[in-house]
């Protein structure tokens, strides 16, 4: 988990600076040798207060704690999360067609509900399932 402060009593493994900004951005490239047999793609996120997920530059998942329409660096989350909501994993199925053979780029922006928030939490998992053919 990345962040600062605590998420329902959990402390981040990697602490980031608390600069009193609305939005914090995270990016991670990853390599997929082939997408020919990609059968499923599942994303999981733990966030405080809200998140938008992008894959290869396209928005693929928006937290319901954010407004519809354009999102900018100054868009606040709709409400502040507290208690168990801070450490709850959300899961969403994505189309495996979103994956590219070669290097892919995952980006997530985490939005706060207040510039004076005492914490920010972010953790993410992306899991793909591939089918294989049986050996003759």
- Beta strands 2-4 and 58-62, pairing class: unpaired
Per-residue pLDDT in tens (0 to 9) along the chain, 136 residues: 676 666 656 666 566 666 778 888 999 999 999 998 999 999 999 998 899 999 999 999 999 999 999 999 999 999 988 888 888 899 999 999 999 999 999 999 999 888 887 778 888 999 999 998 777 6
Comparing CA positions, the residue from 36, 13, 15, 37 lying closest to residue 24 is 15
pTM score of the predicted model:
0.85
In this structure, the number of other CB atoms found within 10 A of the CB of residue 25 comes to: 12
How is the chain split among helix, strand and coil, in percent rounded to 5? Answer: 5, 50, 45
Assigned token pair, 113: 């509900």
Determine the pLDDT at residue 58: 96
Instruction: Mention every residue, 6+ apart, whose C-beta is less than 8 A from residue 38.
Output: 32, 96, 97, 99, 128, 129, 130
Determine the pLDDT at residue 7: 60
Determine the pLDDT at residue 116: 80
Determine the pLDDT at residue 132: 83
């Amino acid at each position: 988990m990345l962040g600062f402060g605590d998420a329902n009593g959990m402390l981040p493994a990697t602490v980031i600076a608390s600069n009193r900004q609305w939005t914090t951005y995270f990016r991670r490239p990853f390599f997929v040798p082939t997408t020919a047999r990609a059968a499923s793609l599942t994303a999981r996120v733990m966030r405080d207060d809200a998140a938008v997920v992008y894959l290869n530059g396209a928005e693929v998942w928006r937290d319901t704690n954010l407004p519809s329409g354009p999102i900018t660096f100054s868009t606040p989350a709709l409400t502040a999360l507290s208690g168990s909501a801070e450490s709850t994993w959300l899961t969403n199925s994505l189309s495996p067609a979103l994956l590219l053979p070669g290097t892919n780029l995952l980006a997530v922006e985490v939005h706060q509900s207040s510039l004076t928030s005492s914490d920010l939490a972010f953790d993410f998992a992306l899991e793909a399932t591939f089918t294989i053919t049986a050996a003759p």
